[in-house]
Amino acid sequence: MIKLKNEWQRLLQAVGVALLITALMGCNGEEEDKGPAIAKISGYNHTENYIHRFFINGSWGGNVFAYGGGGKFVCCIKYPREWRPDLTATVRWSTSSSDPEGPDDVYWHEEVVPIEYYDKLGSLNVHFLPDNKVRLLIWNGLAGSKGYRGPDAPEKPADWPY
């Protein structure tokens, strides 16, 4: 009778160990999908034109004076939590002369722009550069902060009259 009892105890222990191993193998340490990240948007204008308004994938980003921007954020745009090489956004913006006496013509521009590599979540910094070039950077901070991979915040030229 004691021999049968010991065999049952060993069998129960073996089943317990097998269940524990199965449970541990099922836990692969991955987090559940939290969905896309959400970023505030901040624009930087490195040109002499006034940017009336801009949109990133249809989300409004604000307006930016010539050689200005940064420090103010509007909400929001969704983006993947992990960067991938084909990641782009459609940027649409309108410009006009910054000269109050200049022409009133407003010009619309649109570009599909790559979102540059990021390894941490943050805000979306949008840099409008000369020749209608745009750079998009996800960063937890302002342009020019330590480790920032994009251009510094724009500065007005010494002879800029406005």
pLDDT digit string, tens, across residues 90-118: 999 999 999 888 888 999 999 999 999 99
Beta strands in the chain (DSSP E): 37-45, 49-56, 59-64, 74-79, 88-97, 107-114, 123-129, 133-139
Q: Which residue has the higher pLDDT, 20 or 104?
A: 104
Number of domains in the chain: 1
Give the per-residue pLDDT at 22.
47
9-14: average pLDDT: 60
The reply to whether 4 falls in a domain is no
Phi, psi at residue 17, to the nearest 5°? -65, -40
Q: pLDDT band at residue 159, thresholds of 50, 70 and 90?
A: very high
Which residues span the domain enclosing 88? 37-139
Q: Which amino acid is at 2?
A: I
Q: pLDDT band at residue 34, thresholds of 50, 70 and 90?
A: confident
Whole-number Å distance between alpha carbons of 152 and 76: 22
Which pTM was predicted? Answer: 0.77
Residue pair 115/82 in contact (Cβ under 8 Å)? The answer is no
The reply to whether 3 falls in a domain is no
Give the per-residue pLDDT at 11.
54
The reply to whether 101 falls in a domain is yes
Q: Which residue has the higher pLDDT, 162 or 60?
A: 60
Give the per-residue pLDDT at 102.
81
Edge-to-edge strand ranges of the sheet holding 107-114: 59-64, 49-56, 88-97, 107-114
The reply to whether 87 falls in a domain is yes
The reply to whether 89 falls in a domain is yes
